[in-house]
Amino acid sequence: MTPDEMKSFVAGFLEEVWNRGDLAAADRYLAPEYVIRHDPGDPWDGATLDRDGFRDRLIKSRAPFPDQRFSIVDAVAEDGRVAVAWRWSGSHQGEVAGIPPTGRTISMSGITFYYIVNGRLTGHWQEVDRLGMFRQLTAG
Amino acid sequence: MTPDEMKSFVAGFLEEVWNRGDLAAADRYLAPEYVIRHDPGDPWDGATLDRDGFRDRLIKSRAPFPDQRFSIVDAVAEDGRVAVAWRWSGSHQGEVAGIPPTGRTISMSGITFYYIVNGRLTGHWQEVDRLGMFRQLTAG
């Protein structure tokens, strides 16, 4: 894939799989094994997931924020890697990290390195501003 | 600059300016204006700094952790941008965010998009795991 093809591929993954929650589409994007190399605060940090495991993570991650949306701020691609800076928002409709639903619209930002081999995603390395998110979830 | 030249340039910036605290070297890396586009938790988030302003930020940011070191985990470069995933550590020797020095060695990770125009850095967009850092600073 060219850098532009890699960026389009990751944009499609975020839109179809994460924004729409399309479980069937995930197979077109994921390699048989997907490694969460580094993702502080994510319950699957460090895990190697097969496609069923990834779908389980997707369902459980989307449940507290069913209308969640990622929007891409910037993306840089080179040699099998795509770095994506993003903003995210969603309404808090289910328990997350022990916090019962608040109904609030929560905003967050993060950056992810996605790794691509043979046209499929093999994993990511991610940082998100989880302190900023917790402050919104727990504000008085 | 080619992608490899951009990655070497950013690696030199992190080593000379941030790891060594070399104020004179900063001039070789910085454009006349440096914009902190997005950096949640950084006191200069959103600021436009001239070189004196950047040196002031460098001195104040390094003071609590004078032996701090960034090490690059991965870097991706394309078209005037370099995305860098990094780890950081330093011993906590001065007050930071109202927390008096603990003497602890603190570790952190983050990802930064650096922007380059005419061979000089014009700003960054950054995410760091500040919750992970605060937990180490405030652990009982």
Mean pLDDT of chain A: 97
Residues of B in contact with A76 (CB under 8 A): 76-79, 81-83, 113
Q: Is B69 helix (H, G, I), strand (E, B) or coil?
A: strand
CB contact under 8 A, B111 and A111: yes
Cα–chain center distance at B1? 21
pLDDT of residue B67: 98
CATH number for the domain harbouring residue B134: 3.10.450.50
Q: How many domains does chain A have?
A: 1
Whether B32 and chain A come into contact, CB under 8 Å, resolves to no
Alpha helices, DSSP H, located in chain B: 3-13, 26-29, 51-62, 130-138
Nearest to A74 among B125, B130, B132 (CB): B125
For A14, the domain range is 3-138
Full pLDDT tens readout for chain A, 140 residues: 999 999 999 999 999 999 999 999 999 999 999 999 999 999 999 999 999 999 999 999 999 999 999 999 999 999 999 999 999 999 999 999 899 999 999 999 999 999 999 999 999 999 999 999 999 999 88
pTM of the predicted model as reported, rounded to 2 decimal places: 0.97
A116-119 CB contacts, 8 Å cutoff, 24+ apart: A116/A1, A116/A6, A116/A9, A116/A80, A116/A81, A116/A82, A117/A31, A117/A80, A118/A31, A119/A1, A119/A9
Full pLDDT tens readout for chain B, 140 residues: 999 999 999 999 999 999 999 999 999 999 999 999 999 999 999 999 999 999 999 999 999 999 999 999 999 999 999 999 999 999 999 999 899 999 999 999 999 999 999 999 999 999 999 999 999 999 88
pLDDT of residue B140: 80
Identify the CA nearest to A112 among candidates A134, A137, A85, A132. Answer: A85
CB B101 within 8 A of CB B64: yes
ipTM for the predicted complex comes to 0.97
pLDDT of residue A97: 87
Residues of A in contact with B109 (CB under 8 A): 38, 40, 127
Tell me which DSSP letter residue A27 carries.
H
CB contact under 8 A, B78 and A82: no
Identify the CA nearest to B113 among candidates B98, B128, B100, B93. Answer: B128
Which pLDDT tens digit goes with each residue over A90-110?
A: 999 999 989 999 999 999 999
Pairing, β B81-91 against β B69-78: antiparallel
Tell me which DSSP letter residue A47 carries.
-
